[in-house]
Amino acid sequence: MEDILYCKDLYEPIEGDTAKPKDMDDEKWKRLHRKTIGHIWQWLDDSVFSHVSNETDAQVLWKKLEARYEQKTATNKAFLIRKLVNMKFKEGGSIADHLNEFQSVVNQLATMKMVIEDELQALLLLSSLPDSWETLVVTMSNSAPDGKLSMGQVSSSLFNEETRRKLAGTDNAQALVSENRGRSKNRGHKEHGKSKGRSQSRGKSAEKGKCYHCGKEGHLKRNCYAWKREQKEENNNQKKNEEKNTTATFEGDEVVVLSCGEEECLHVGNEIEWVVDTGASYHATYNKEFFTSYKAGDFGTVKMGNTSHSKIVGIGDVCIRTSVGCMMTLRDVRHVPDLRLNLISGIALDREGYMNYFGNGVWKLTKGSLVVARGKACCTLYKTNLKVCRDGLNSIEDGSPRPPGVSTSPSSSSPSHRP
């Protein structure tokens, strides 16, 4: 506001009678006061205008507004400091807007004669970034010249990172599911190390690898008789029956599971099949043995399709490997013993930044350019094959906090192939 008055040559009245030009008479000085006051009133809210509408002296009006909005009290200073320290950048937001809000608080503190050094501003700005920006924070901290950062360096890096994320399509929140795609560093060395100096009797098994479906060595999934038999039975059942869809909707403390009809479910009792359900708010399973961490307790009830109720007896994490070779940890999975299907929530994954694609009888889960999981349509449901890795993660004691780190497959596991 003060800058606008200077641009309009209306700043002299707010400085008092001492700023009155010597060649200006009293009448013109009063009109200048009135003009300055009118210009200030244009920028006031109605709730504020009523308190200063009777003022005829621009300097008095200006001091009242300063006393109302720029009080240099300890309370106001503490409030602004708390606001600056607790300021957090929201995922998917604009870096320009965040910097503008940050600098606005810094400027307000400066008017109260509390000048924050440039290096401290840079550190506070870095601390306002979410966990998904941790790589940038660590990189800048380690590469700072003489261990000092400046606002110019940090601001420029934030804009560059925002542009990079938009181009790469990876501006997402921290994932509900963590993936580890690709081959283990010790994969080739471990296999060769074991076979070195031994007979060639293991050469055939090592060459063919381990079946992802049944877990036996000596053949691949595409040659697995058990998998072929299940596929044949599944195709026959699909032609005979039209399975009704099942969804799980979580409402407050109660989970409502909706089911149409009493037809036989093709997925009952199959440990590797999970139904991809966009209507489910959380992942759910009936098998307690799936969990790598587990907390028992009363977490609400489940209303089944036949109007019966079942309890949610536990919550935990389930470590699985997808059909494309990614290790995934499903967080906060509900344990419902009476549930007939394993449910993987598309909404929960989408809420955390993952992209679900449905079409032409195929489901695909992606994170940026990375394909995390695939599935296909069966009757009216989309399903995917997930192998539970009970030894994929170190189990966490019941009730203990869960670390936020990314899970990885154990280095001692034998190589697995992609079907």
Other CB atoms within 10 A of residue 214 CB: 14
Q: Which residues of 91-115 are buried (b: 16+ CB within 10 A; e: fewer)?
A: eeeebeebbeebeebbebbeeeeee
Beta-strand runs (E) in 279-417 = 284-285, 291-296, 301-303, 309-311, 314-321, 327-335, 343-345, 355-359, 362-367, 370-378, 381-385, 387-388
Amino acid at 241: N
Q: Which residue has the tokens 């937001």?
A: 93
Pairing of strands 291-296, 314-321: antiparallel
CA proximity to 391, closest of 320, 314, 288: 320
**Token pair belonging to 65:** 């507004």
150 alpha carbon, distance to own chain's centre: 28
Beta strands 327-335; 284-285: pairing state: parallel
Q: How far apart are CA 139 and CA 404, in angstroms?
A: 20
One DSSP character per residue, 85-98 reads HH--PPTT--HHHH
State the catalytic residues.
277
Q: Which residue has the tokens 């504020």?
A: 48
Rounded to 5°, the CA angle 138-143-145 comes to 135
Distance, in Å, from the CA atom of 44 to the CA atom of 66, rounded to the nearest integer, reads 13
Helix (H) or strand (E) holding 277: strand 273-277
Q: Which amino acid is at 31?
A: R
Question: Tokens representing 206?
Answer: 């090592």
